Structure 1
């Protein structure tokens, strides 16, 4: 292989890697901007009590999900409490975040929209609203 070919390939590889890094940085920035705009739109939809709307052939719908995670530094206590309450099947080396969220939502619903006392302080519960986007039906 000639030196020129070697250098040309080396230059091309360097340029491609630089392009990849620039695009990854740009993608990260776009992702952060999507999160910001999504949060603003979700809040505006909450404020105006708008469940969904269609704009330019795209439907936007408000989606609220319950998320739960172990309170900071209390994961072991949470695991023990889950086992003692008969829900040890949720506990692995870690508790799956989606399973815990669904479980906490279920327990709260069964307890008249109040977190059961045995979970108090062991989990952090918050509502997250996002906007679903899909092509609108004609």
Structure 2
């Protein structure tokens, strides 16, 4: 592969990553505007006792959803209480993918570059080669 082609692809990759960052930033802004507008519209509808209305072929309905989350620092207590009351099927244990990857990499390095036997058959391990970008030193 000649360097001109490589530089062309490098420029394209950087451009796409920059474009993605801008789109993600804009998406965050739009989501914030959606939340604010939704809140204000729902408030206005509640104040005027308007359950629903139609505008430009779309029906807007005032709905209410109950949301719940564990209190800070009490997740394990909540899980124990749910299990104790027979609702253990609501509890899902998870492992962060990045943390698991780092842990497995460390275990492999400490085991002579081989996956420890106790992890064999429990995790899929693969190498992903990609190009990272960072600002060059001046």
User: One fold, TM greater than 0.5?
Assistant: yes
- Counterpart for residue 92 of structure 1: 91
Compared with structure 1, are the counterparts of its residues 72 and 51 closer, same or farther at alpha carbon in structure 2 (3 Å cutoff)? same
More strand by share: 1
Compared with structure 1, are the counterparts of its residues 76 and 7 closer, same or farther at alpha carbon in structure 2 (3 Å cutoff)? closer
Compared with structure 1, are the counterparts of its residues 73 and 58 closer, same or farther at alpha carbon in structure 2 (3 Å cutoff)? same
Quote the offset at 1:12 in angstroms: 1.4
Unmatched 5+ stretches in structure 2: 94-138
| Count of residue correspondences | 93
3-state SS, counterpart of residue 73 of structure 1: coil
- Counterpart for residue 28 of structure 1: 28
RMSD, aligned α-carbons: 2.2
Compared with structure 1, are the counterparts of its residues 3 and 78 closer, same or farther at alpha carbon in structure 2 (3 Å cutoff)? closer
Quote the offset at 1:66 in angstroms: 1.4
Unmatched 5+ stretches in structure 1: 95-138
Higher CA-based Rg: 2
In the TM superposition, structure 1's runs of 4+ consecutive aligned residues that sit over 4 Å from their partners are: 79-84
User: Higher relative CO (CA 8 A, sep ≥ 6), structure 1 or 2?
Assistant: 1
